[in-house]
Amino acid sequence: MSIEIQDVHKSFGNLEVVKGVTMTVEKGEVVSVIGGSGSGKSTLLMCINGLEPINSGRILVDGTDVHARGTDLNKLRRKIGIVFQQWNAFPHLTVLENVMLAPRKVLGKSKAEAEAIAVQKLSHVGLGEKLKVYPSKLSGGQQQRMAIARALAMSPDYMLFDEVTSALDPQLVGEVLDTMRLLSSEGMTMIVVTHEIAFAREVSDRVAFFHKGRIHEIGPPAQVIGAPQQPETVAFLKSVL
């Protein structure tokens, strides 16, 4: 049980943004990905659940080749939850309906089952009081927690977080990070692309530093953040801390 990324290259037109990335994330692990803007870290996340095609290399999720022709991506995505920088609430559905949608449509759950799951997940992220509200009435932090609950409702084996606090007002960042802390303490396998270095240091088993489409340094947070070996890592950490 793992996500294996093997020498993945990804270009947009002539611009190569991921230039040969190899790493493995084992079940139960929390791996944070840090690095400057445009270093390819968000793109890599999109490639993991097949939202973006890759140019070469392979990504295996529990042994399934994500980008192989015969792979049923809709099925594969059930076990990979992803939360984006923009929370992307479905504006025409209530908070409860937002979370119920995928279990009903994709997993074929009954209304009652889906509702039970949704209520449980929403309570888990602290939104048990907001079930009947429309997303527009929520703060950014609440909407982002709803997005997390929406992904969790599919009972994924892996959770990918793409700079989920970057678009939030500073005072709302904490509540979202708390929710992610909770997940990591429950043993959820997570790949967290983030600019929150302190958070990465605290919750991660390993930290990967991306620079210009490559992993420059990967290892335990105490090493990559505490005692970085590469000059690029040192320079990056200096700029964000």
Partner 1 sequence: MFETSFSLNDLWFMLKGAGVTLTVTFWAVLGGSLLGVAFGLMRAVSPWWVNAPIGFVLDIFRSVPLLIQLVLANAFKSIIGLKWDPFTVGCVVLAVYTAAYCTEIVRAGVLAVPATTRRAARSLGLSWTQDLTSIVFPIALRVALPSWIGLTLGVMKDTAMVWWIGIVELLRSSQVIVTRIHEPLFVLSIAGLIYFLMSFPIARLGARLEKRWREND
Q: Point out which residues bind partner 1 (CB under 8 A).
A: 49, 51, 74-75, 77-78, 80-82, 84, 86, 88, 90-92, 101-102, 105-106, 134, 136, 147, 150-151, 154
- Residue (142 or 233) nearer to partner 1, CB: 142
Smallest gap from Cβ 155 to partner 1, in A, equals 11
- Residue (102 or 224) nearer to partner 1, CB: 102
Smallest gap from Cβ 149 to partner 1, in A, equals 12
Smallest gap from Cβ 180 to partner 1, in A, equals 17
Smallest gap from Cβ 5 to partner 1, in A, equals 18
Contact between 238 and 197 (Cβ < 8 Å): no
- Residue (77 or 216) nearer to partner 1, CB: 77
- Residue (22 or 134) nearer to partner 1, CB: 134
Smallest gap from Cβ 125 to partner 1, in A, equals 16
- Residue (127 or 225) nearer to partner 1, CB: 127
Burial of residue 141 (CB within 10 Å: 0-12, 13-18, 19+) is buried
